[in-house]
Amino acid sequence: MQVIKLSGEQEPFDPQKLCNSLKRSGLASGVAQNVCDTITQKIKPGDSTTKIFREALRNIVKTDLVASARYSLRRAVDDLGPAGFLFEQYVEALLQAHGYTTQRDVMMKGECVIHEIDVYAVKGEFKYLVEAKYRNQHTIKTHVDQVMYADARLMDIQRLALKQKKNPDQYTMWVITNTRFTVSAIKYAKCRGMKLVGWNYPKEATLEAMIVRKKMYPITVLPSMSPSARDQFAKYNMILAQDLLPYSASDLSQRVGISLGIARKLLQEAGQIIA
């Protein structure tokens, strides 16, 4: 049976792949298998992977809200766009949770031009110029040309440092993306001493692992969060589920302009996920 991927391509439906993704979310093995069997029986030829995902998520939400957050996390990060500026905010918050001191949208002079750095991050003696590469579909890979572009910016900054008789090697370029890197992109970064973090790279510290380790779930994992509410929360720099918890439902309703009922639901969901 063929199903339709996000890219529009067809692929054979693999029940085991679905079951494994459900188990990785943290669902108990028996519950995951029951959900998998239920979804598998409903799938028809030509169904989209998005439809299958949504059906699975509806079932998980009823059983385990924390597991639903894990299961929907990748698409929730995708939903931080579409312009990409929310992803930059999110990357900054994630780095702060991991002990980095940060500044966003820093302007740095190079030999030829001035560069806008998405996030400037410092930890100990190490300084990083962070490029936050957002894609609204995680099926789109981050290619070598994008990594090379980031490297070219670093080299322009380093050339100016040399002219000013400063240490040109004081900064490391760091590319963080919500997608996968191509093999060539990884090879180039290793050759140039750059740092990469993608959804499943590097194995010991993927973007997914960084998020889950600190429970830095974006507000878009909350089942009751609509796109319009997401944008309203972003205006107040509230992009994490945990950002909602210091407020009462009444405060959220008045501040963000959502109904009291939705505010209560969002607080309940955030509390369960972050607990």
Tens digit of each residue's pLDDT (9 = 90 or more) over 229-261? 888 898 888 999 999 999 999 999 998 889 999
pLDDT recorded at residue 255: 87
194 and 238 both lie in a single domain: no
Give the list of residues 6+ apart from residue 275 with CB closer than 8 angstroms, or none.
none
79 falls within a domain: no
The dihedral formed by the CA atoms of 240, 181, 47 and 79, expressed in degrees to the nearest 10 = 20
Q: Does 84 score more than 70 pLDDT? A: no
**Domain coverage including residue 250:** 219-274
Closest among 159, 85, 162 to 116, alpha carbons compared = 85
77 assigned to some structural domain: no
Counting residues of the chain whose pLDDT is more than 90, the rounded percentage is 60
CATH number at residue 240: 1.10.150
Q: Which of 5-9, 38-42, 48-52 has the lowest mean pLDDT?
A: 5-9
Fill in the DSSP letter of residue 254.
Answer: I
- Residue for token digits 């400063």? 166
Q: Does residue 195 form part of some domain?
A: yes
User: Looking at the domain assignment, is residue 123 inside a domain?
Assistant: yes
Residue 109 has pLDDT above 90, yes or no: yes
What value does the mean pLDDT take over residues 6-24?
A: 86
pLDDT at 85: 76
Mean pLDDT over the full length of the chain:
91
Confidence of residue 82 (pLDDT cuts 50, 70, 90): low
186 and 153 share a domain? yes
Do 106 and 187 lie in one domain? The reply is yes
Q: What is the CATH number of the domain that holds 181?
A: 3.40.1350.10
Residue, of 183 and 48, whose pLDDT is higher: 183
- Mean of pLDDT values over 163-175: 94
**Token pair for residue 1?**
């049976």
Query: What are the phi and psi torsion angles at 192 (to 5°)?
Result: -95, 0
Residue 223, helix vs strand vs coil: coil
How many other C-beta atoms can be found within 10 angstroms of the C-beta atom of residue 236? 11
Residue 68 lies in a domain: no
Token readout for 261 is 């009922």
- Asked whether residue 102 carries a pLDDT value surpassing 60, the answer given is yes
The pLDDT value given to residue 123 = 96
Same domain, 185 and 92: yes
Does residue 172 carry a pLDDT above 60?
yes
Residue 184's contacts (CB-CB under 8 Å, 6 or more residues apart) are 143, 144
Give me the helix-helix angle, 49-63 and 65-78, nearest 10°.
Answer: 150
Give the per-residue pLDDT at 146.
96
Q: State pLDDT tens for residues 192-209.
A: 999 999 999 999 899 999
